[in-house]
Amino acid sequence: MIAFEHVSFAYEKGRPVLNDISFRIEDGEAVGLIGANGAGKSTIMKLLLGLLSGEGKITVDGDEVKKENLAKIRRKLGFVLQNSDNQMFMPTVYEDMIFAPLNYGMSREEADRRVDEVLDRLGLQELKHRHNHKISGGEKRMAAIATILAMDPAAVLMDEPSAALDPYNRRIVINTIRDLKQLKLITSHDLDMILDTCDRVILLSGGRIAADGQADVILHDRALLEANRMELPFRFAGEKQ
Amino acid sequence: MNKMEKALHELGEMDELAARSSPIHRLHPAAKLLSTIAYIIVVVSYHKYDLNGLIPHCLWPILLFQVSGIELRTCFYKLRIVLPLVMAVGLFNPLFDRAPLLYLGNVAVSGGVVSMLTLMLKGVLCLMASFLLMATTPIDALCAALRRLHVPAMLVTLLLLTYRYVGVMTEELAIMTDAYHLRAPGQKGIHVSAWGSFLGQLLLRSMDRAQELYSSMMLRGYHEHFHYADIPRFSLRDGLYLLGCLAFFLLLRLVPVAQLLGGLFVR
């Protein structure tokens, strides 16, 4: 379970990016974090992962996000970066996937088994020994998700998982996200993807929560979305309100 | 593909060469590393006029290229930028050392020419040996071997991350040069007036990306301790290879093989 209690953050003094944010996400929930550019979506992710620290209290399964708890918290959170090139820093997919399990004390045999399980589940065995610089953007995104699932995290955080993907690969990524059983927190401008993968949406605007509720209700509300510099998902764009 | 992208591609190709399979690839990385170091030390130890003694040392890299299935021309192609620099090292020797050292028929060859050729050959052989090591051993296996040889973890991690970050920096440079040339058609290279901001931006962008990469590592449990490749134990075969190499280098160093062979044909 993830909880933000009265969290504020500013990169520069006097210009808060987040202003008194509070929300809770329960285990198994799939939440889409949406908002215009600069609304604070990525900042929320970074605060949760302990890459930034602000005011207020953030907890993961009751443990507060602070230096002494970071190792424990990060063990539970798998973060898929927006740019897969920044995530895949080892020469091959296999070496990237085995990186986290080995760091978390797993033996190489166990880690190997884990890697194979994940690759089988995602149907990516063919990528196992491929070089990261030789795979396509879609394959790289799937491989990046696989590296995170190899950690067996309790929650999966994703930053723009469908960005720069063609429709076919986008659909594969969406189906993969839907199949994940973990708590999911996804930031994206791709509102159709959010509709397909999340039950709940948190709409950020001007550093505050403008709406928090059922995805299909919020993403159907043209007035609300437009007031917060967003648009209806494409599938609702033709509908009369 | 611009020059930087080509460089990046070639860097990736080195990983692919190292991932191939051959008797040399399958050797323990420590055996390859130690034999390469020994080879370089022996080659460098020759006197500046001892071109004769140095020539038989060409055998070792040529033999290894054959056994590893890596083409010699791949080596020279990849080293095409460094080779001229190495060759240039002794270029001025003939100007300073003009005393005749030997005669080829009636032609006097000065000590400067011989020392230049010796220096060039030494440089080329050392580069070939280093290339062979890199082309037959993945970088993380090499790092694992260095750790087994008790090289400090900090240095080994530095080596590995530098290798990784070179790629990151080259990628950024490729993007920036593309963006520059799209707005400066017909211009060759980067104009000197843009060098300052170009380098500054490159540094900032590379640091941003390096920070992202580092965050990605930290979020996956990295804590200044790298788990290098799982390399096998040092076997009898590896020991024999290493001993064989050392014996071969010593033999060539102590016995004037080239002179003995030449003596068979010339009285």
Given strand A30-35, what is the order of strands in its sheet?
A77-80, A155-159, A183-187, A30-35, A200-205, A208-214
- Sign of the alpha-carbon dihedral angle for B36, B42, B43, B45: positive
Amino acid at B45: S
Residue B27's pLDDT band, with cuts at 50, 70 and 90, is: very high
pLDDT of residue A110: 93
Average pLDDT, chain A: 92
Residue A199, SS3 per DSSP: coil
Q: How far is CA A23 from CA A82, A212, B147, in A?
A: 23, 9, 47
Which among B19, B138, B219 has the least Cβ separation from residue A74? Answer: B219
Contact status of A229 with chain B (Cβ, < 8 Å): no
Domain extents in chain B: 1-138+229-267, 151-228
Residues of B within 8 A of A99 (CB-CB) are 217, 220, 222, 227
pTM surpassing 0.80? no
pLDDT for the residue A241: 59
Q: Kindly give the pairing relationship between strand A2-12 and strand A55-60.
A: antiparallel
List of chain A residues whose C-beta atoms are within 8 Å of the C-beta of residue B212:
81, 83, 86
Question: Which residues share a beta bridge with A213?
Answer: A201
Q: Model confidence over B113-147: pLDDT tens digits? A: 999 999 999 999 999 999 999 999 988 899 999 99
The pLDDT of residue B194 is 86
- Residues A219 and A201 sit within 8 Å (Cβ to Cβ): yes
Region of residue A79 (left: phi > 0; alpha: psi -120 to 50; beta: else): beta
pLDDT of res. B92? 85
CA distance B263 to B261: 5
Q: Give the one of B138, B167, B216 whose C-beta lies nearest to A81's C-beta.
A: B216
Eight-state DSSP code of residue B224:
S
pLDDT at B196 over 80: yes
Strand partners, B198: none
CB-nearest to B12 from A71, A134, A147 is A134
The partner residue sitting opposite A103, judged by closest CB among B8, B227, B230, is B227
What is the per-residue pLDDT across B83-116, written as a single tens digit (0 to 9) for each? 888 888 888 888 888 888 888 888 888 889 999 9
How close is the nearest chain B Cα to the Cα of A216, in Å?
A: 32
A213 touches chain B (CB under 8 A): no
A93, amino acid identity: V
Q: What is the pLDDT of residue A208?
A: 94
Q: What is the predicted pLDDT for the residue at A85? A: 86
The per-residue pLDDT for A240 is: 66
Phi (first) and psi of residue A10, to 5 degrees: -140, 135
Q: What is the mean pLDDT of chain B?
A: 88
Question: A86 and B219 in contact by Cβ < 8 A?
Answer: no
Characterize the bridge pairing of strands A200-205 and A208-214: antiparallel
Residue B91 dihedral angles phi and psi, to the nearest 5°:
-60, -30
* A20-34, B67-81, B85-99, B170-184: range with highest mean pLDDT: A20-34
Looking up tokens 């040069």 gives B177
Tell me, what's the pLDDT at B210? 86
Q: Give the pLDDT score at B175.
A: 83
CB contact under 8 A, B227 and A81: no
- Rounded average pLDDT over B2-6: 72
Q: What is the mean pLDDT of residues B14-27?
A: 91
Angle, helix B139-148 to helix B153-182, in steps of 10 degrees: 160
CA distance A239 to A95: 48
**Res. B267: pLDDT tops 70:** no
Residue B7: per-residue pLDDT = 78
Q: B227-245, pLDDT tens digit by residue?
A: 877 788 899 999 999 999 9
Q: Do B16 and A131 touch (CB under 8 A)?
A: yes
pLDDT > 80? residue B4: no
3-state secondary structure of A18: strand
What per-residue confidence (pLDDT) applies to B128?
95
Q: Do B220 and A92 touch (CB under 8 A)?
A: no
Element holding B154 (H helix, E strand) = helix B153-182
Judging by DSSP bridges, how do beta strands A2-12 and A77-80 pair with one another? Answer: unpaired
Q: Which residues of chain A have pLDDT under 50?
A: none
- Residue B216, min C-alpha distance to chain A (Å): 6
Please say if the pLDDT value at position B1 is more than 70. Answer: no
Instruction: State ipTM.
Output: 0.79
